A and B are shown apart, each in its own frame.
Chain A
């Protein structure tokens, strides 16, 4: 009978260990994909962002750090994108329209960052901005020219960009909130822009 007891004991042990590993590895059985994990991780521990030199649709050079003290909504796009970036653009527009006019620019700003700096020069950024209703001031469009800086920025945000077969890209699309302290504090789905806007208003 001791062999049966041995078997039961080891089975119980490995079941506990296995369940524990799953619990730990899926953030308490909540995050089964890397995308949910990224969001949970940011909520738990806001991430500092690396310095990067950005160039906007008018050729002005700036940094994300320049927005310190303000809330900044960030999305990642490429201007030839015909699918998900359009939904992102719509979501951004809805958010912009919901933020009180006096807070816009003073306390809240929006930023669309292109991850395709080769093709997205200021002119195409400008055209993309006009198409989506960006004003170029409170909602700017920018690219990161330095490849290493862009890579570091994407990594910090947890954005994975892969080329598709049609010369475009697929990327995990979301709306990112950078807090007043310059850290990435929250990542939202792009299909609930009103919730995001409500959160912004709350934080004003």
Chain B
């Protein structure tokens, strides 16, 4: 990846830290968690994105080292899949609101087990690998959104039925939008998506 000057990296790192603290601040937390959409589609993705961005600020050879310890990109993608799926469970959302410890686990695991592993793996993923992550994510979003729309009863005890519905709609729309963007990126071009390096070393 492109090298970032150390002082600029430090500034960006501080900015990410500030965003993280802002998300953790009680007023912002309760504001985002007041609606299902804010919780699922703003807070949770932002937490993962902070981990992703923070990891990309690490010096390249440190990232390589972490990647080597983890055994390459595939285990990292698997970790990110498990952790992100967990926080899509209605039960996990309810638990995070009801138990402070689960809330802490959410704030730690989303950056550490979703953002960071994805960022480490992303450098090494070819176009197929990245395509897998994207399509997997988009289909999960669409299926979950549809489930929220079709569910005859409330899935989260902490949210009203109409919030479940609006979150469902937003998820379906977001999935369509992401899919269109990804396809567009794939066919219309822009900078090459895939890292020209092979997925596996010799």
Q: Which residues does A use to contact B, with CB under 8 Å?
A: 3-4, 6-11, 13-15, 18, 21-22, 25-26, 31-37, 160, 162, 164, 170, 172
Contact = CB atoms under 8 A, between A and B. Distances in A.
A26 B75 contact: no
Contacts of A25: 86, 89, 91-92
Given A33-B90, A170-B154, A172-B154, A3 B72 contact: yes
A67 B161 CA distance: 35
A18 B160 CA distance: 30
Contacts of B92: 25
Given A22-B86, A25-B86, A35 B157 contact: yes
A63 to B, nearest CB: 26
A41 B157 CA distance: 16
B155 interface: yes
B91 A4 contact: no
Contacts of B158: 34, 160, 162
B148 to A, nearest CB: 11
B28 interface: no
Contacts of A13: 75
Nearest to A34: B94
Given A162-B160, A170-B160, A172-B154, A7 B74 contact: yes
Interface of B: 68, 70-72, 74-75, 78-79, 81-83, 85-86, 89-92, 94-95, 98, 154-161, 200-201
Contacts of A9: 71
A37 B75 contact: no
Given A10-B71, A10-B75, A14-B78, A164 B86 contact: no
A6 B69 CA distance: 9
Nearest to A37: B91
Nearest to B202: A3
B89 A26 contact: yes
B69 to A, nearest CB: 9
A6 B72 contact: yes
A14 B157 contact: no
Given A3-B72, A18-B79, A170-B154, 12 more contacts: A3-B200, A3-B201, A8-B71, A11-B71, A15-B78, A25-B86, A33-B90, A34-B94, A34-B156, A160-B94, A160-B158, A172-B154
A4 B154 CA distance: 45
Contact of A33 (B86, B156, B161): B156
B74 A34 contact: no
B140 to A, nearest CB: 14
Nearest to A6: B71
A20 to B, nearest CB: 10
A67 B105 CA distance: 41
Nearest to B201: A3
A35 B151 CA distance: 14
Which of B81, B86, B89, B157 has the most C-beta atoms of chain A within 10 angstroms of its own C-beta?
B157
B24 to A, nearest CB: 23
A116 B156 CA distance: 21
A6 B75 CA distance: 10
Contact of B70 (A10, A18, A26, A164): A10
A33 B74 CA distance: 30
A18 B200 CA distance: 24
Contacts of B156: 33-34
B130 to A, nearest CB: 18
Nearest to B85: A22
Name the 4 nearest CB pairs between A and B, nearest first: A18-B82, A10-B71, A34-B94, A160-B157
